[in-house]
Chain A
Amino acid sequence: MGRADSLAKLAWAYGIHLTRRRLTRPRSQLQELFETYGAEGIRALLPAERERHPHLIGCINCGLCALAAGRMGKTRLPDLASSYIRLYSRLGEASTDFEGDGPDLEAAASACPMGVPLAEVAAIVRRIAAG
């Protein structure tokens, strides 16, 4: 099957598409999109979080925050910033990892050489994990 044949079939499909668009009223498909892929964790970050995202993921796992504060539940703080935030689409299945007390996140953040806002990271991780 050659290129000319492929292009001819696409041109035919294009004509049908344009005709259909003229004859039918478009409907919103956004909700359907979210419902289709909700289970995959694909829509996890909110617009405000998305805007802050480049600042949230600067962790290089140096471990200095762990010297200032310990764990959030069973999770070490460096892991929270270097691992959990990067795997956010699967956090719903890992919610048990955060059961327990929260540490002094401001103190931990002040030790971070990359300026990662750990309190913000922790809040997002907890929100996503809670579903």
Chain B
Amino acid sequence: MSPASDHDVCVIGGGVTGAGIARDLSLRGLSVLLLEKGDWGAGTTGGSSWMIHGGPRYLEFDWDTTRLSTQDAGFIVSIARNLVYRVVFLAPVLPDARHNIERVETFMEVYDRFQPLKKAHPHKRLTAEEARQAEPGLSPDVIGAVTNEEWGIDPHRLVYANVEDAVAHGARALNHTRVVDLIRDGGKVIGVRYRASDGAVTEARARVVVNATGPWSPQVSKLAGVEVQLRPAKGIHIVYPHRISNFSILTESIDGRDLIMVSHGGFTLLGTTDDDFYGDLDSVDVLEDEVDYLLQAFERVFPSIRSYRPVRVTTGVRPTLYKWRRYEDELSRRYEVIDHATEGVEGFVSIAGGKLSMYRLMAEQTSDAVCRKLGNQAKCATATTPLPGNESDMEPPSELARRCGIPALAVIKLQSRHGSRAEKVLDGARAGRLVCRCEPMTEAELAYAARHEQVRTLADAFRRVGLAAGPCAGAACVMRAAEVIGAELGWSASQRFAAVREFVRGAWLGRAPVLGHAGWAQEELAQGAMRGLLN
């Protein structure tokens, strides 16, 4: 076993909340160790709808959640300008809808009161004819529509931006590192024992250990001999590799739940389900029934939806706070900071529940609890301190494109990930070569991600820089990507092949539930292009 290191705080869990806590505590001057068993944001955060939103639907249950999440969304919009973009929803109303158009507009009128908190515009109401002018793909049965505005965000980059800033302020952050045990001294937790990707087990001492592992919180808390009770809920999204509607669309499912089709920059997410989940958190399957449940709802308002070719599905398990209630959808998205000292376990704090939109606030309140224990008086600075890449304004894409010799569209994508630091990423001879052409992404950016952003697998590169996120799902780029990353990390030829094989097999698990006729043709092509590798 490797010798122990000493820290003020060890944060377990590299989702957006854990990364946010690590950043917050580092900005307050504490020494922090952040550990993630997989890759940054690979769990619940990555399986989200890619939005920071207040959620008009919470108005039925809990206005405080709406207020807090819109307020915090406003802070995130200010500190992460390069990562956010406006997402405008149309809520088309059908004659047999659960809520008639007057009720829907009432919801949006109330929601408008919160919108200034996140710098969003008030709603608009459209007649049936106007709604079809705005969104020609809508069903002729639609009798009117109401709009509302949210913010889209790349959650993977948001997590990494928090990790990067934490490291810049002195934190140590390790991905692919699993906590195997907590070190205890009587009733006190005094550190963690973790296994790195090379199998080496190391001890780290910490004055406080924070459990920010989302749906895995009950498992981690058991290591300390305490209980965190959740009601985990599975949600899936269907991913289309294109923007398939002008506006994002809000509709209802057969059982009256709100569903969303979100038009992000170059892709569309359609979701989500919300079902109690009792299975293995590390192996969440998607059923064709779940896919059909979503498509059935959307084809009523957007009839051509089945003409589009999905590229994969995503899954996530929400760490919803425990409550005995009939419907999962009615559960609050509130969160709770738990100091386990009240149960006789000192030095151990858990954060449970919540949602992406409130990650910064959750991190602030968890950090406050940690600082109280440590006697640290420093105030939270995360609401106003820009995340990396937001220190200055971005230059116009066409100018950077001309100077660096890459397409302007590639610069737009690059800036959306790295903000004002984009040119720094393009340093070197690889600047002009595109490796993932659908996205589009340069070899220089991929090499940078391997060298500086803890990319250790091709799946990590998917999360960090969008590798293989486009229509070809990697068929045209993963071989070359393995060469670029392999050159940075010193992979042998067989390790490069193994990396491609692992990525293609992993991607297949996400593609199988949504492959239609064209999808199978694409899969055949991809398999053919990589013939020999998968045997």
Tally of contacts, chain A with chain B, CB under 8 A? 177
**Cα separation A29 to B267 with both chains bound (whole Å):** 27
CB distance from B44 to the nearest CB of A (A): 25
For residues 9 through 63 of chain A, which have their beta carbon under 8 Å from a beta carbon of chain B?
9-10, 13-14, 17-18, 21, 26, 28-30, 32-34, 36-37, 40, 42-47, 50-51, 53-54, 57-63
With A1-B64, A7-B60: A43-B243 Cβ-Cβ less than 8 Å: no
Q: Are B86 and A37 in contact (CB under 8 A)?
A: yes
Nearest opposing residue in chain A for B473, CB measure: A60
> Which residue, of B106, B127, B309, has the highest number of chain A Cβ atoms within 10 A?
B106
Nearest opposing residue in chain B for A33, CB measure: B124
B63 within 8 A of A: yes
Q: Which residues of B contact A (CB under 8 A)?
A: 59-64, 85-86, 88, 102-103, 105-107, 109-110, 121, 124-127, 130, 133-134, 136-137, 147, 241-244, 246-247, 263, 265-267, 304, 307-309, 396-398, 401-402, 407-409, 412-413, 434, 437-440, 470-472, 475-476, 518, 521-522, 525
A130 within 8 A of B: no
Q: Chain A residues with Cβ under 8 A from B407's Cβ?
A: 74-75, 79, 94, 97
For residues 53 through 87 of chain A, which have their beta carbon under 8 Å from a beta carbon of chain B?
53-54, 57-63, 74-76, 78-79, 82-87
Q: Chain A residues with Cβ under 8 A from B242's Cβ?
A: 57, 85-86
- A93 partner, pick from B308, B309, B398, B402, beta carbons under 8 A: B398
Q: Are A54 and B308 in contact (CB under 8 A)?
A: yes
**Cα separation A76 to B127 with both chains bound (whole Å):** 42
Q: Are A86 and B266 in contact (CB under 8 A)?
A: yes
**Cα separation A105 to B313 with both chains bound (whole Å):** 33
- Can you list 23 residue pairs at the A/B interface with Cβ under 8 Å? A1-B62, A1-B63, A3-B60, A3-B61, A6-B63, A7-B60, A18-B102, A30-B133, A30-B134, A44-B246, A45-B136, A53-B304, A60-B525, A62-B472, A79-B440, A86-B241, A86-B242, A87-B265, A88-B243, A90-B409, A93-B396, A96-B408, A97-B407
Q: Are B246 and A42 in contact (CB under 8 A)?
A: yes
**Cα separation A97 to B127 with both chains bound (whole Å):** 39
Q: Are A47 and B136 in contact (CB under 8 A)?
A: yes
With A50-B137, A83-B439, A86-B243: A96-B401 Cβ-Cβ less than 8 Å: yes
**Cα separation A6 to B59 with both chains bound (whole Å):** 6
**Cα separation A6 to B243 with both chains bound (whole Å):** 35
Q: Chain B residues with Cβ under 8 A from A79's Cβ?
A: 407, 434, 437, 440
With A6-B62, A10-B59: A61-B109 Cβ-Cβ less than 8 Å: no
CB distance from A73 to the nearest CB of B (A): 10
Q: Are B475 and A61 in contact (CB under 8 A)?
A: yes
Q: Are A6 and B60 in contact (CB under 8 A)?
A: yes
Nearest opposing residue in chain A for B146, CB measure: A29
Q: Are B60 and A59 in contact (CB under 8 A)?
A: no
Nearest opposing residue in chain B for A29, CB measure: B124
**Cα separation A6 to B60 with both chains bound (whole Å):** 6
- B409 partner, pick from A18, A78, A87, beta carbons under 8 A: A87
**Cα separation A31 to B125 with both chains bound (whole Å):** 11
With A44-B246, A79-B440: A62-B476 Cβ-Cβ less than 8 Å: yes
Nearest opposing residue in chain B for A58, CB measure: B518
Nearest opposing residue in chain B for A50, CB measure: B136
Q: Chain A residues with Cβ under 8 A from B61's Cβ?
A: 3, 6
Q: Are A30 and B265 in contact (CB under 8 A)?
A: no
Q: Chain B residues with Cβ under 8 A from A75's Cβ?
A: 407
**Cα separation A37 to B413 with both chains bound (whole Å):** 20
- A14 partner, pick from B103, B126, B137, beta carbons under 8 A: B103
Nearest opposing residue in chain B for A27, CB measure: B125
Q: Are A28 and B130 in contact (CB under 8 A)?
A: yes
Closest 5 CB pairs of A and B: A61-B472, A54-B307, A47-B136, A94-B408, A29-B124
A89 within 8 A of B: yes
A114 within 8 A of B: yes
With A86-B470, A89-B243: A40-B102 Cβ-Cβ less than 8 Å: no
**Cα separation A94 to B434 with both chains bound (whole Å):** 16
**Cα separation A36 to B123 with both chains bound (whole Å):** 11
CB distance from B102 to the nearest CB of A (A): 6
- B412 partner, pick from A1, A93, A114, beta carbons under 8 A: A93
Q: Chain A residues with Cβ under 8 A from B267's Cβ?
A: 86
With A10-B110, A61-B438: A83-B86 Cβ-Cβ less than 8 Å: no
- A54 partner, pick from B124, B304, B521, beta carbons under 8 A: B304
**Cα separation A121 to B146 with both chains bound (whole Å):** 31
**Cα separation A40 to B120 with both chains bound (whole Å):** 13
CB distance from A14 to the nearest CB of B (A): 5
Q: Are A94 and B437 in contact (CB under 8 A)?
A: no
Q: Are A14 and B476 in contact (CB under 8 A)?
A: no
Q: Chain A residues with Cβ under 8 A from B137's Cβ?
A: 50, 53
For residues 79 through 118 of chain A, which have their beta carbon under 8 Å from a beta carbon of chain B?
79, 82-91, 93-97, 113-114
Q: Chain B residues with Cβ under 8 A from A6's Cβ?
A: 59-63
Q: Chain A residues with Cβ under 8 A from B434's Cβ?
A: 79
**Cα separation A68 to B486 with both chains bound (whole Å):** 33
Q: Chain B residues with Cβ under 8 A from A13's Cβ?
A: 106, 109-110
Q: Are A17 and B471 in contact (CB under 8 A)?
A: no
Q: Are B398 and A114 in contact (CB under 8 A)?
A: no
CB distance from B118 to the nearest CB of A (A): 15
CB distance from A22 to the nearest CB of B (A): 11
**Cα separation A89 to B85 with both chains bound (whole Å):** 11
**Cα separation A54 to B59 with both chains bound (whole Å):** 36
**Cα separation A91 to B136 with both chains bound (whole Å):** 21
Q: Chain A residues with Cβ under 8 A from B309's Cβ?
A: 57-58
Q: Are A29 and B60 in contact (CB under 8 A)?
A: no
**Cα separation A43 to B132 with both chains bound (whole Å):** 12
CB distance from B256 to the nearest CB of A (A): 16
Q: Are A33 and B147 in contact (CB under 8 A)?
A: yes
**Cα separation A52 to B156 with both chains bound (whole Å):** 33
Q: Chain A residues with Cβ under 8 A from B412's Cβ?
A: 87, 90, 93-94
